[in-house]
Structure 1
Amino acid sequence: MSPTIHLAQEPEADDLLGRSPLAALVGMLLDQQVPMEWAFSGPYTIARRMGRDDLDAGEIASYDPDAFAGLLKEKPAVHRYPGSMAKRVQTLCQFLVDEYGGEAEAVWRDAASGDELLTRLKALPGFGEQKAKIFLALLGKQYDVRPTGWRAAAGAYGEQGSYRSAADITGPESLAKVRAHKQEMKRAAKSAKNG
């Protein structure tokens, strides 16, 4: 059974995130320099513009790059930087095709430990340390993917009852708490820089 996801705050987009491991990965990839809901509604927008009800890594990887960028640039754009994000999405999908037979879920399906899963996530194109830890926490908290030691491997993002990232968003109230936390982190960083 698919988990109930509320990252996009839009029923059709959240439904896709709940049933499509690739959509979840692409949403996480898009989650930078735009509001989270915008990023996580991106996979649904891409699928719709491709005339599909799901995403397929092989199809995206082999899509004409200019045409794929055009899909992301259509109004409303999928991202603030649709051209560069189109390349990143295609690069991620090509990696999944090459390393995991095009199956996003294979990245975590047989991971023996949280550390192993974190290593696999960090190897994904476009996933640095922080993004990998957030996605690991998201898998554990909302997708019931919990290899031994997953919370420790996710660091602070894995903490129960925290409101730090996309991993903690289960509705509008938790989204507001995550936003408040991010604003506080920005204020603290700015204060430290100016202090």
Structure 2
Amino acid sequence: MTLALPIDPEANRLLARDPLALLVGMVLDQQVSMEKAFSSPYVLAQRLGHDLDARELADFDPEALVAIFAEPPALHRFPKAMAARVQEVCRVLVERYDGEAARLWADPDDGRELLGRLTALPGFGRQKAQIFLALLGKRFRVQPPGWREAAGHYGDPEAHRSVADVTDAESLRLVREYKQQMKAAAKASTRGD
């Protein structure tokens, strides 16, 4: 199983075979479309000339990495901040997981432990961590005991709330509708409706 986003097939294949690319896609999945966030690891790999490597990215000259992120088309609407965030995440991978993204989720005792590992990553609040946990469980069969509960409502097998639930064009449409409803509800609550 893998993602079924309407992006370059090679980008989907990279996400399926490269845990770091998948994690980088999740890092970038904010304030841009899912398609943009999860296709950017492939574009980054193309610009580097090889698959992503956490050690290389952790040690990369920060200004040079920003330049790679900012090169048109930019990998994110905030290339400077996201280049720094990717670098921070890669440094954690090097320090705690021997530079291997898959080790982050390789052997947790349960879903709560995995959620804790994810929330310890730079830029991963509880919601982002729960979405990524649901993505790992639903699409990549990373299913330690209690993973659905740890993923909160994103773990619901019938959900259409996030990238974890995208399996085809129809599910993508349902996820987009859900996100639009949530934005509208948030906007209404700030207005006092």
TM-score by length of 1: 0.96
Match of 2:5 in 1: 7
Structure 2, unmatched stretches of 5+, are none
1:106 aligns with 2:108: no
**Percentage identity across aligned positions?**
57
1:77 aligns with 2:74: yes
Match of 2:91 in 1: 94
Kindly provide the CA deviation profile for residues 93-115 of structure 1, in whole angstroms up to 9, marking residues without a partner as x. 01100110000011110011000
**Equivalent residues of 1:8, 1:39 under 8 A apart:** no
Counterpart-to-counterpart distance in 2, 1:96 and 1:37: 24
**Equivalent residues of 1:169, 1:178 under 8 A apart:** yes
Counterpart-to-counterpart distance in 1, 2:117 and 2:166: 23
Counterpart-to-counterpart distance in 2, 1:167 and 1:5: 8
Deviation, structure 1 residue 193? 2.6
**Aligned to 1:145, what secondary structure does the other structure show?**
coil
**Equivalent residues of 1:22, 1:57 under 8 A apart:** yes
Deviation, structure 1 residue 10? 2.0
Counterpart-to-counterpart distance in 1, 2:11 and 2:107: 27
Deviation, structure 1 residue 8? 5.6
Counterpart-to-counterpart distance in 2, 1:60 and 1:171: 32
2:184 pairs with one of 176, 183, 187: 187
**Equivalent residues of 1:8, 1:36 under 8 A apart:** no
Match of 2:25 in 1: 27
Counterpart-to-counterpart distance in 2, 1:139 and 1:111: 13
**Aligned to 1:164, what secondary structure does the other structure show?**
coil
Misfit runs of 4+, over 3 Å: none
Match of 2:40 in 1: 42
Match of 2:160 in 1: 163
TM-score by length of 2: 0.97
1:148 aligns with 2:113: no
Deviation, structure 1 residue 4? 3.1
Counterpart-to-counterpart distance in 2, 1:154 and 1:103: 22
User: Counterpart of 1:156 in structure 2: which amino acid?
Assistant: H
1:134 aligns with 2:131: yes
Deviation, structure 1 residue 176? 1.1
**Aligned to 2:105, what secondary structure does the other structure show?**
helix
1:173 aligns with 2:139: no
The aligned length equals 192
User: Counterpart of 2:47 in structure 1: which amino acid?
Assistant: R
Structure 1, unmatched stretches of 5+, are none
User: Counterpart of 1:145 in structure 2: which amino acid?
Assistant: V
